[in-house]
Amino acid sequence: MSSQTARVSVTRVAADRAHLTRSDTVVHRRRRTQHNPRRGRTATPRASTSGPSDSTDDDLASFERAWKSTGADLSLRWGLINRLFAFERRRAGLDENLWRLGWHAAKSYVGITYLYDDDETGTPRGDVFVSKYLCIDPSFDNALGCLRHELAHCVAGPKSANHGADFKAACEKLDCPKAWRSEKTGAFYSRPTVQMLWAKHDLEELSKGGKFATLPAMLYEKNVWSAAQGGDRTVFRDGETGTTLDSFQMYDLMLMEAEQLGR
């Protein structure tokens, strides 16, 4: 699928970094020209970005047990946090096709949510990105707290103040842990043993090939958005058919094709 330039009109992005808050106007990024054989195909809507994420058998107790049993294995934790996100997204009453999960590699912030209005329908939607270091965190409460914090921004919507009344009401609705209801949180930092775990993880990832050794590059924050302030959003367009996919839909399509090849 080759790519062409297009833009989307967006009212505002409210990007929260757990202890940093940014608001600005954003547009779609210029579409990068790439050779891709997926011409004329479209991705079907998925429940999540990873596997059977909306299983009715999931509950918080089972998630917490799974979190403890997977240790700091990023490949296992990525699938698990996608399942947890899908579970919490459904609990928040948010459309699975409008609110998606990606990742970032920063240690200076835990979560960030890009909120904007759909260009065609005007429907609010957003992209949530969590730190890969959250994925390997020993504390399940931190994973749950961060996701509920970011989803509270989604519920509050693009036109709400970042941590204003609408956000606080959403936190109450979602039962967001108190440590994760404010702009800043100390729950993720000031833990020397965890920071040692981060350093160990960095060395292991470097030995495997670097930043994208385990997690999908397509869903990396800086590959989806060019910047948190005034940034452009990556989308792909087939020059012949006019089919347009965003990064999450492209990733879904890649998973679908890989699954078909594996049959």
Average pLDDT over residues 224-240: 87
Residues 53-99: tens digit of each pLDDT: 444 457 999 999 999 999 999 999 999 999 999 999 999 999 999 99
Q: What is the pLDDT of residue 194?
A: 94
User: Residue 2's pLDDT band (boundaries 50, 70, 90)?
Assistant: very low
Distances (CA, A) of 111 to 24, 79, 184, 185, 235: 17, 17, 11, 11, 22
Contact 113, 16 (CB under 8 A): yes
Kindly report, residue by residue over 24-36, the tens digit of the pLDDT. Answer: 223 333 333 333 3
User: What confidence tens digit (pLDDT) does each residue in 152-168 have?
Assistant: 999 999 888 789 999 99
The CATH architecture assigned to 13-23+50-262 reads 2-Layer Sandwich (3.30)
Would you place residue 52 in the very low, low, confident or very high pLDDT band (cuts 50, 70, 90)? very low
Q: Which residue has the tokens 């065609």?
A: 120
The answer to whether 81 and 103 are in contact (CB under 8 A) is no
Q: How far apart are CA 214 and CA 199, in angstroms?
A: 16
Collect all residues with Cβ–Cβ distance below 8 Å to 207 and sequence separation of at least 6: none
